[in-house]
A and B are shown apart, each in its own frame.
Chain A
Amino acid sequence: MSYQTLFLSLALSAAVGSTAIQANDGKLLATSGLSQIEGAGGGGIVPWATLSGYDSQDQISISVALSQVDLEDYRLNVQAVSASFYDRIEFSLGQQRFDLKTLGGDIKMNIVGAKYKLYGDAVYSDLPQISVGVQHKILEDKAIANALGAKNTMGTDFYLAATKIHLGAVAGYNTVWNVTARATKANELGILGFGGQSRDSYQLMLEASAGILFSRHLAVGVEYRQKPDNLGLKEDDWFDLFVTYIPSKSVSITAAYTKLGTIAGATDQNGLYFSINGHL
Chain B
Amino acid sequence: MRDTQLKLNKSVISITFSLLCLLTGCTTSPSSAALDAMSSADNLYQTLGGKAKINEIVDNFINEIAFDQETYAFFKDSNMQRFKDKLSEQLCVMAEGPCTYTGDSMEQVHTGMNITEANFNHGVDLFINAMNKAEIPHTVQNRLLKEMAKTRKQMLYR
Contacts and interface: CB of A to CB of B under 8 A. Distances in A.
Contact of B5 (A169, A210, A236): A236
A170 B35 contact: yes
Interface string B116-130: 111101101100100
A252 interface: no
B13 interface: yes
Interface string A1-42: 000000000000000000000010111110000000000000
A179 B25 CA distance: 16
A174 B149 contact: no
Interface string B11-47: 0110111011011110000001001001100000000
Contacts of B145: 167-168
A261 to B, nearest CB: 8
Contacts, number: 106
Contact of A172 (B13, B15, B138, B152): B138
Nearest to A262: B5
B143 to A, nearest CB: 4
Contacts of A261: 5
B52 interface: no
B118 A59 contact: yes
B100 interface: no
A224 B20 CA distance: 12
| Size range of the chain A interface in the assembly | 35 or more
A172 B121 contact: no
Contacts of B19: 177, 210, 222
Interface string A199-212: 00000001010111
Contacts of B15: 222
Nearest to A57: B117
A25 B121 contact: yes
A215 B141 CA distance: 10
Contacts of B22: 170
A123 B149 contact: yes
A171 B23 contact: no
Contacts of A212: 23
A234 B15 CA distance: 22
Most buried by A among B17, B70, B118: B118
Interface string B78-114: 0000000000000000000000000000000000000
Nearest to A167: B146
Contacts of A211: 23
Most buried by A among B24, B25, B122: B24
Question: What are the 8 tightest A-B residue pairs by CB atom distance, in nearest-first order?
Answer: A172-B139, A168-B142, A56-B117, A167-B146, A25-B122, A175-B23, A56-B118, A168-B143
19 contacts: A25-B119, A25-B125, A56-B116, A56-B118, A166-B23, A166-B25, A169-B24, A170-B35, A172-B139, A173-B142, A177-B23, A208-B16, A210-B16, A211-B23, A214-B138, A222-B15, A234-B1, A234-B5, A261-B5
Given A28-B125, A166-B23, A168-B143, 13 more contacts: A25-B122, A56-B121, A166-B24, A167-B142, A167-B143, A168-B146, A170-B23, A171-B38, A173-B138, A173-B142, A177-B23, A211-B23, A222-B19
